[in-house]
Amino acid sequence: MENYQFSIGETMQYTLSAVEMLRILGYTQPLNGEWLEKLKQDHPINLPKTYTEFMELMADCPLLATSNLWVGKMERRAAPRIPHTYYDELLEMINDRKDRWSKRPGRYERALYELSQLPAEQWQEKVSNYFLIGSDYANGMGEFGIRIEDTEKDDPPVYWHKDGDDFSTWKLESETLSDFLLNVLIEALACIDYQTAEYELETKGWRCQEYYNLKKDDWVASKSVLKRYGIDYSAVKKYKANSGKVFCCYNCEKNTFFVGATAEGDLSLTAINRSEAEPIFLDTDSLEFLIEEAKLFIKTKDKSERDDLTQYMLYTKEPKTEIHLSDHCFMYTPLQPEGDENLLFLPFGEKKPVFVLCSGATFVEVLSKALKEKPKSTNEELAAALNLYLQTENH
């Protein structure tokens, strides 16, 4: 059913860096050089080489607008999220509270008050300083930072501070910044909590497709599915996500990224390749998907399933005189014309007209007849049978 069957022998890369991945995806030029220069001016520290190389490509980039890394512009936030030091943040909290300290403050407030009574140069006796680079965007549970003394390193470790913990309580998040950035990028590409990366990649000519098992009617993949596409599950490095794990590998021969995610025992798999290339997985918005669906129902002779198709109409987004397997098609209930031009519109989404190809009953009937004459008809042959019917009816 899927278009590609990959072999393990094909070239699959498992160790690309975050910057290497971005360059393959087309992010090769700095998006906002001023952003990074201002950051360096505002914070007289040596930013790690790994960080600057990455941020030269990602500053204010929509690709990571809903990620755990602060890149400036963040989706659904009026104010940009700009990296800063932990001391700057603590000082801001102190200034916000100094005129209204509670008479009976809690542990957190007391610690903040005690810190406010010390000269800034003595803060290091109580709490270390960090260069804050991100936060848990989805849950707002804490922040990620690099120890100020580690910013001299090219690829320093990254630490995590949970909201509500003592100011001095920081735990190791990632042994290297490069791993942390790769984790952020892969989690964004997996589109677990947000579809932001998918929408951004589409503007750059990429297609994101999630593996779908038509026979089981679910989106769950398996290790055997990974093997089918040339992925060695034991070779991929797994990174933590808000739920479960994520991983990524790249087939350079097919110019395709495979991004996987595991959660609650289930495995999902997304293929990212160029929109002009042949789809890796069966496209659920294509004529081919509907043909596969109809073939499955015709073969099982399940009347209830067959009725699910025959009660609808088959629509396209563009008027078609000839239809191909990759064309966008969908089933929907019969629509009533609107306006003087008798155009049909879906009651949701963009107000763009849609066009009837044929009824669902006709679609199933044409395929059933073709399969009866030739039980092992290919999808191309079934599409040709449908086109022959449409041309005959139109004339």
| Tens-place pLDDT, residues 126-155 | 899 999 999 986 666 899 999 999 999 999
pLDDT of residue 73: 87
Q: Tell me if residue 186 falls in helix, strand or coil.
A: helix
Contacts of 376 (CB under 8 A, 6+ apart): none
Residue % of the chain over a pLDDT of 70: 92
- Please name every residue paired with 278 in a beta bridge, in sequence order, or none if there are none: none
Which H, E and C letters describe 269-319, residue by residue? EEEEEECCCCCCCCCCCEHHHHHHHHHHHHHHCCHHHHHHHHCCEEEECCC
Residue 177 burial (C-beta neighbours within 10 Å; 0-12, 13-18, 19+): buried
| Averaged pLDDT for residues 22-45 | 84
CB within 8 Å of 206: residues ≥ 6 apart:
25, 272, 273, 274, 275
Give the pLDDT score at 2: 45
Residue 287: CB partners within 8 Å, gap ≥ 6?
Answer: 323, 324, 325, 326, 327, 329, 383
pLDDT tens per residue across span 164-179: 888 889 999 999 999 9
In the structure, what pLDDT confidence band is assigned to residue 1 with cuts at 50, 70 and 90? very low
- pLDDT mean over 109-113: 84
Amino acid 3: pLDDT? 47
| Mean pLDDT for the stretch of residues 117-122 | 88
pLDDT at residue 303 in the model: 61
H or E element that contains 343 = none
pLDDT in tens, 332-376: 999 999 876 789 999 988 888 999 999 999 999 999 999 999 999
pLDDT in tens, 263-298: 888 899 999 999 999 889 988 889 999 999 888 888
CB atoms within 10 A of CB 114: 11
The alpha helices in the chain, defined as continuous H runs, are 18-24, 33-42, 49-58, 86-97, 107-116, 177-190, 196-203, 223-228, 287-300, 303-310, 360-373, 379-394
- Two tokens, residue 91: 């000082």
Mean pLDDT score, 92-121 = 81
Our measurement of the distance from residue 57's CA atom to the centroid of its chain's CA atoms, rounded to an integer in Å, reads 18
* Closest listed residue to residue 28, CA positions, set 204, 231, 147: 204
Q: What is the mean pLDDT of residues 293-310?
A: 73
Nearest to 243 by CA among 175, 197, 190, 199: 190
**pLDDT at 384 exceeding the cut of 70:** yes
Structure tokens given for 175 = 């042994």
* Distance between CA atoms of residues 196 and 125, nearest Å: 42
**Residue 41 pLDDT more than 70?**
yes
Q: Does 65 score more than 80 pLDDT? A: yes
Work out the average pLDDT over 197-225. 90
Q: Which amino acid is at 197?
A: A
Q: Has residue 226 got a pLDDT over 80? A: yes
Q: What secondary structure letter does DSSP report for 123? A: G
Question: Which residue is listed with tokens 């041309």?
Answer: 391
pTM: predicted TM-score of the whole model, two decimal places: 0.83
pLDDT for 374 equals 95
pLDDT single digits (tens) 239-249 = 988 888 999 99
Cβ neighbours around 7 below 10 Å, total: 9
Mean pLDDT of all residues in the chain? 88
Q: Return d(Cα 179, Cα 273) in angstroms, integer.
A: 24
Average pLDDT rounded to a whole number, residues 177-206: 94
Q: Flag whether pLDDT at 301 surpasses 80.
A: no
Rg of the chain, C-alpha, whole Å? 27
